[in-house]
Structure 1
Amino acid sequence: MDSEDDMLYEDDSDQMDDDEDDQDDFVDIGMDPEPTSAKHKNEEDFPYEVLTTEQIVRHMVDCIKEVNTVVQIPATITRILLTHFKWDKEKLMECYYDGDQDKLFSEAHVISPFKKTLGATAKKEMTGLECGHKFCSACWSRYLTTKIMDEGMGQKYSYLFFLYYTVLLNFVRDPKVKLKYQHLITNSFVECNRLLRWCPSPDCGHVIRVHYYDCKPVKCACNHVFCFACGENWHDPVKCKWLSKWIKKCDDDSETSNWIAANTKECPKCNATIEKDGGCNHMVCKRCKFDFCWVCLGPWEPHGSSWYNCNRYDEDEAKKARDAQEKSRAALQRYLFYCNRYMNHMQSLKFENKLYATIKYKMEDMQQHNMSWIEVQFLKKAVDVLCQCRQTLMFTYVFAFYLKKNNQSIIFEDNQKDLENATEQLSEYLERDITDDMLVDIKQKVQDKYRYCESRRKVLLDHVHEGYEKDLWEYNDP
């Protein structure tokens, strides 16, 4: 089933296998000449690989060839079908052989390769595609260049570029445009494949490939550790769903609205928001100049009359106003309680990362006092544990914010308190000035404390994970 459309895959794969420099379809985009994938297996037995851009291209070509060997259709159409099924090869082949093929091609916006078409033509500067519609060759060149360089390649246009790559080769000669096209194709492959994810670290071009999709931590070649499911920094013990809600809550202005509701009132005439900044209850709206009472929100004029009952309590109206304001005030206070502790550990974690430089100096100084390199490694280990505990504690407050109170949540808070106290003590030990006369004593204290922190962190996480497995946690979504 060789065709002109297959050049991108067949030629490219052969050239990569032979390590040739002259590639017709893929120009040099700075890939490693001899890439190697790093295979990992983390502490929770979640196997994954770290791949370079070149390996991703090879993987894409291999996937297309594997499927094409079975379905026996042009490689370009195979790629469109794989994209349509998010590169789920088994699902594609199941639908291809067990379903309606005409419907399959139609849903994927592909012209069936089994139907006779007018074919591509090129005559008098006019070019036609398989559908038979002809356009000016110069217009094709400008159109494709604009779509690639200015608009990128969204899902709306990806099928066009996948299907008519030979047209692009004929009319796009600029190496920069071809380079951008190749990046877009590769990125599209990664973005729609649920078993692949770009490393979110800035300026890192590696991709993580997993064997199965799950919310697990992965570590890139650049040493960045993140959650494979959501791409955020690894956030155990909170789940991706609640972390996403928390980040959105912190980013939007919902808490500003809560503060306004808790600390301001609206002008009873024009509804302008007013904050009281003095003791007098006689308010004058700056917008509409309406005089009213801050206490009862009624007109100010009758307040001097003996018959006016501003002091009389209206149970129904007061209850509505009080409930609304108290609810907003309580929600704000609760959010600030957890947010302040979350931000505090985040800030401490940044300082702890700077602590590595200080510890390195201390380790070098210790080696000048008859201690070997091995003997001073306890300090680096202690900072590693400290950073892990800070990060865990940071996300425990996100978990606790959405957690309903029950017996299990009380146990969780006790574990959280124990870990927090031990973490603060370890931080104090590491920030002390270590002198010669206290060297042995402080070493033993640091080792004992970071081991205790490790054990308390494990107890906390094990308890949360057990709660997930046994469905013990109840959530409150404010």
Structure 2
Amino acid sequence: MSSDGEEEFEFEFEDDDEGFDPEADSAGESISDAEAFDIMSPTLEEPPEKKPYDVNYRVRTMQEIMDMQTKEVKKVQSLLEVPADTAATLLRYYAWNSEKLQEQFWNDPTAALVSAGLSPPSSPSTSTQPLPSPLASPRPFECPICCMDYTKEQTATQTLALGCGHRFCRGCWTEYVVGKITTEGESGRIQCMESGCSRIVRAEPIDELVTSDVSKKYHNLLNQAFVSDAPSLRWCPHPGCEHIIECSQAPQKMLNQLVPTVTCRCGNDLCFGCGYPASHRPVICRIVKLWEKKCADDSETANWLQANTKECTKCQSTIEKNGGCNHMTCKKCKWEFCWVCMGPWSEHGTAWYQCNRFDEKSGSDNRDHQAKSRQSLERYLHYFNRWANHEHSAKLDADFYKSTQKKMEQMQSSANMSWIEVQFAKQAVDTVIAARITLKWSYCMAFYLKRNNMTELFEDNQRDLERAVETLGYSLEQNIGDVGAIAKLRQEVTNQSAYVQKRHDILMDDTLRGYLEHRWEFTV
């Protein structure tokens, strides 16, 4: 358990590559450095160096997630000497924190079981021995929900009672459980139908009551709840992907210092910290949420109203000035007033087109408030327009790829180049798109940054990257000329692409290191 109260747990898996020696051949003999090096062999690229702001993670399949649960259930079952379904229910109640579960159970087994919705230790339902039939002495029964009567014989086969003793007919049980699973999406916390009873309906009776399809959904919901409860697990948010990311280096307390971007096996990026379905580096999760809310709600509409409208001083109706004259007449209450000082127009005498009245307090306050609102709006629009422009450009990547692919085919035919030789164009497009995404989020960050020397350095890096991206983008849009022009274009694009990548790495590296060094201050 972490010091700030967050619950953490880790699962260990045996590495399939354990014991593998990359310097040994299939016969187990060591290969010398001279034999291993072949100047004619292709050079193997070194894996990218791990940065201090990067996190370690693994992509898991659903089968691995199920294996994790099984392993934990068996461990707790052995330690507490309870049935497997009891161990599973306890783990779900304690959010799969086995240490906390063991502490509570050994301290007070009855309280731990009852709070989890299970029978106390003296109850046969928590024993590892075979369960005695709760219907050993059947008697006539009336279901308290549907009011159907059952004979002694029917009670034994057509009704069901949990360990709490509350009995209902199987038809009502089935309808209740199916509704909980299919409509409410409930799984591990389905409780007894009796009002006020918190006894949990375990997996065994549910599987017996429902069809195979509903049972399958029930177990899928249990798996989803397991992932949701685990602070080190997160679903890949991209459509059609069923993989789960495991990362134990990005707890909530670290999200002011890290932007934990990970790549799923489906090829898409996501932020492990907030689940954003793409990389939002270099901005931390908290700022991204503030920015998206600011862009989505009506806060900027209110800013526009403050900057461009005023309220009638008599009926408080909102008025927008649509002419040059300062003599205003409210259409609602017919009140005539001065747009500049908001005072009654009758006091202006014959000064129809100017206002020389000045109220030391209210006049200055009104103008200051108006100016501040307009300045705030202009500042927001400055950053939002640039953020939206890079977002729009990045969204056009499909068209960008298509036009580039046509040019690549044209270069092949006109310059007699191979498909490998024209790949420089596609790599340049990849570089441009990645840089535009980074630039987009850099404007979000710049909007909230406090003005200081560090901010100026950040904006210098931002400016240099933006210039480089625009230059490369312009080169990629040039028409294909003769063979000489193609060779020159290839050289230019290759050099510019390398420069864009360098500027991108500088901006990203400096910004993300700045979080670890606590260099950035925000206005929120």
Calculate the TM-score normalised by the size of structure 2.
Answer: 0.76
Match of 1:256 in 2: 301
User: Does residue 209 of structure 2 align to residue 166 of structure 1?
Assistant: no
Of 447, 458, 461 in structure 2, the residue corresponding to residue 401 of structure 1 is 447
SS at 2:361's partner residue?
helix
Q: 1:136 to 1:389 in 2, by over 3 A?
A: same
Match in the other structure for 1:70: 79
| Corresponding residue for residue 285 of structure 1 | 330
Q: Is the 8 A contact 1:50 1:221 kept in 2?
A: yes
Distance 1:207 1:147 in 2: 25
| Code of the aligned partner of 1:395 | W
1:82-161 superposed matches below 5 A: 82-97=91-106, 99-115=107-123, 121=134, 124=155, 125-153=158-186, 157=190
Q: 1:272 to 1:444 in 2, by over 3 A?
A: same
In our comparison, the structure showing a higher alpha carbon Rg is 2
Among 255, 258, 262, which residue is 1:218 paired with? 262
Q: What is the aligned-residue RMSD (CA, Å)?
A: 2.9
1:227 to 265, 271, 276: 271
- Which of 470, 476, 498 is equivalent to 1:451? 498
Shift of 1:386: 1.0
Question: In 1, Cα distance between the equivalents of 2:230 and 2:62?
Answer: 15
- Stretches of structure 2 that go unaligned for 5 or more consecutive residues are 1-46, 126-130, 139-154, 193-197, 252-258
- Distance change (3 Å), C-alpha of 1:236 and 1:212: same
Q: When you count helix as a share of all residues, which structure comes out higher? A: 1
SS in structure 1 opposite 2:487?
helix
Q: Which amino acid counterpart does residue 320 of structure 2 have in structure 1?
A: E
Deviations along 1:279-319, whole A, 9 cap, x unmatched?
Answer: 2333333334433332333334444489xx96320111112
CA distance in 2: counterparts of 1:303 and 1:155, whole angstroms? 75
Structure 2 CA distance for aligned equivalents of residues 113 and 262 of structure 1: 69
Alignment partner, residue 337 of structure 1: 382
Measure the CA separation in 2 of the matches of 1:468 and 1:168.
49
Q: 1:364-396 deviations in whole A, cap 9, x for unaligned?
A: 333333323332222222111111111111111
Matched to 1:391, the amino acid is: I
What residue in structure 1 maps to residue 368 of structure 2? 323
| 1:441 paired to 2:483 | no
Verify the 8 A CA contact 1:119 1:132 in the aligned structure 2: no
Amino acid at match of 1:218: V
- What is the letter of the counterpart of residue 262 of structure 2? V
Contact kept in structure 1, 2:62 and 2:244, CA below 8 Å:
yes
Q: Is this contact kept in 1: 2:410–2:480, CA < 8 A?
A: no
- Taking a change above 3 Å as real, the CA distance of residues 89 and 379 of structure 1, as seen in their structure-2 partners, is farther
- Give, in whole Å, the separation in 2 of the partners of 1:162 and 1:428: 64
Gaps in structure 1 of 5+ consecutive residues: 1-39
| AA in 1 matched with 2:273 | A
Task: State the partner residue of 1:360.
Answer: 405
SS at match of 2:396: helix
User: Residue 112 and residue 353 in structure 1: after superposition, are their counterparts in 2 closer, same or farther (change >3 A)?
Assistant: farther
**Aligned residue for 1:200?**
237
Letter in 1 for 2:283: V
Letter matched to residue 323 of structure 2: G
1:186 aligned residue: 223
- Match of 2:435, SS state, is helix
Sequence identity, in percent?
41
Give the 3 Å change call, closer, same or farther, for CA 310–419 of structure 1 in structure 2: closer
Matched-pair contact (CA < 8 Å) for 2:306–2:374: yes
SS where residue 226 of structure 1 aligns?
A: strand
Q: Is the 8 A contact 1:137 1:171 kept in 2?
A: yes
Deviation string for 1:301-351 (max 9, x for gaps)? 444489xx9632011111221232222222211111111111111111122
Q: Secondary structure at the match of 2:405?
A: helix
1:386 partner letter: V
Asked whether the 8 Å contact 1:338–1:397 carries over to 2, the reply is yes
In 1, Cα distance between the equivalents of 2:159 and 2:356? 87
Greater Cα shift, 155-164 or 76-85: 155-164
Correspondence for 2:417: 371
User: In 2, distance between residues paired with 1:256 and 1:299?
Assistant: 28
Indicate conservation of the 8 Å contact 1:352/1:386, yes or no.
Answer: no
CA distance in 2 between counterparts of 1:206 and 1:42 reads: 25
3-state SS of 1:315 partner: coil
Partner SS state of residue 457, structure 2: helix
**CA–CA distance in 2 between the matches of 1:415 and 1:249?**
25
The Cα shift of 1:114 comes to: 4.8
Contact 1:426 1:446 in 2 (8 A): yes
SS of the equivalent of 2:57 reads strand
Distance in 2, Cα, partners of 1:390 & 1:158: 51
8 Å CA contact 1:408–1:472 kept in 2: the answer is: yes
Amino acid in the other structure paired with 2:263? K
Matches of 1:266 and 1:376 in 2, distance apart? 63
Give CA deviations for 1:395-428 in whole Å, capped at 9, x if unaligned. Answer: 1111111111111111111111111100111111
How many angstroms does 1:103 deviate by? Answer: 4.0
> Partner of 1:235: helix, strand, or coil?
coil
**What whole-Å deviation, never above 9, does each CA across 1:231-257 have from its counterpart, x for those lacking one?**
111111111111111111111111111
CA distance in 1, matches of 2:48, 2:75: 26
Deviations 1:195-232 (A, max 9, x none): 22111112322222234435422222221111111111
Whole-Å Cα distance in 1 between the matches of residues 285 and 199 of structure 2?
A: 34
